[in-house]
Amino acid sequence: MDVIEAMRKRKSIRGFKPEPVGREILEEILEAACRAPSALNTQPWEFFVVAGEALQRLCRENVECLRSGAPLELEVAESAFSRDSVFRQRQVGLARQLFRSMGIEREDQEKRAEWLERGFRHFGAPAAIIIVKDESLSGDGPLLDIGAVMQSICLAAMKYGLGTCIARQGVFYPDVLRRVIGIPKSKRIVISIAIGYPDWDFPANAVQTEREGVDTITTWVGFQTEEEGS
Ligand SMILES: Cc1cc2nc3c(=O)[nH]c(=O)nc-3n(C[C@H](O)[C@H](O)[C@H](O)COP(=O)(O)O)c2cc1C
């Protein structure tokens, strides 16, 4: 699969087969992904890779927190946008696509809660990669670098037939992560990536999310127009 094909085919996978992913494969993926660029080659990323009993415990405790109404917490700031923004429209568009694929009606609170919990269970993936950064690294810069490694992980996974879902939902309870997998206080928890073999019969995996056309988000400067070129 060439790079462009992989970029075009990558999508978030929210339903997995139970089959475990071998540690060697995960090591190869991380090794390749760590070739991602970073400012000044600082490589601000560190990984906690979780599977088996530890992952099950993580999922269980996440869901217990969610059901108890414990407040969600993020250790890196989430972007805020207004309800009348295009960003909100895109968010709503995604939710509509996912709910439609899963046959979840707007008023069906039970199914909606079930769907929400799915994210806190790492979508039933057999493994999850938690990305952290050292707390001494301030500012937004390291997050740009981590974004690059995050996408590289998702693309590299495809070579092994694996699917991924980057998810904030996996890191909304930092204390649970620290307790269950021993993430020290000196690390900021950034994001999680669920990883495993996709269950292609899982309806939400068929969703193809939308994208804005390049023409609407790009300003070209210093290029000849078609008329000028001819
Ligand atoms: C930083 C980040 C956080 C995300 N968090 C979640 C999440 O908590 N739950 C979820 O289901 N998807 C999450 N996603 C996946 C996005 O919803 C998904 O990438 C987007 O809708 C585009 O769809 P695609 O990945 O299938 O192309 C996250 C993606 C990113 C980059």
Q: Is the pLDDT of residue 230 over 70?
A: no
pLDDT of 229 above 80: no
- Give pairs for 209-218: CB < 8 Å, separation 24+: 209/11, 209/12, 209/94, 209/97, 210/90, 210/93, 210/97
- CA-closest residue to ligand 1 atom 30: 166
Q: Which atom of ligand 1 approaches the CA of 123 most closely? A: 11
Confidence of residue 6 (pLDDT cuts 50, 70, 90): very high
Chain segment 20-51, per-residue pLDDT in tens? 999 999 999 999 999 999 999 999 999 999 99
- Per-residue pLDDT reduced to its tens digit, 51-61: 999 999 999 99
Residue of 165, 191, 208 best suited for mutating to test ligand 1, as the one with most atoms within 8 Å of CB: 165
The stretches of 36-128 forming alpha helices (DSSP H) are 52-68, 86-102, 109-120
Nearest atom within ligand 1 for CA of residue 14: 11
The three-state secondary structure class of 191 is strand
What per-residue confidence (pLDDT) applies to 111?
97
E strand or H helix at 148: helix 141-159
Residue 103: C-alpha distances to residues 84, 142, 194, 202 (Å): 26, 39, 23, 12
Residues with CB under 6 A from ligand 1: 11-12, 14, 94, 119, 165-169, 191, 209
* 224 C-alpha to ligand 1 centroid (Å): 37
pLDDT at 216: 95
Model confidence at 225, in pLDDT bands (50, 70, 90)? Answer: confident
Which of 166, 193, 205 for a ligand 1 pocket mutation test, highest count of atoms within 8 Å of Cβ? 166
* DSSP assignment letter at 130: E
pLDDT tens profile 183-195: 999 999 999 999 9
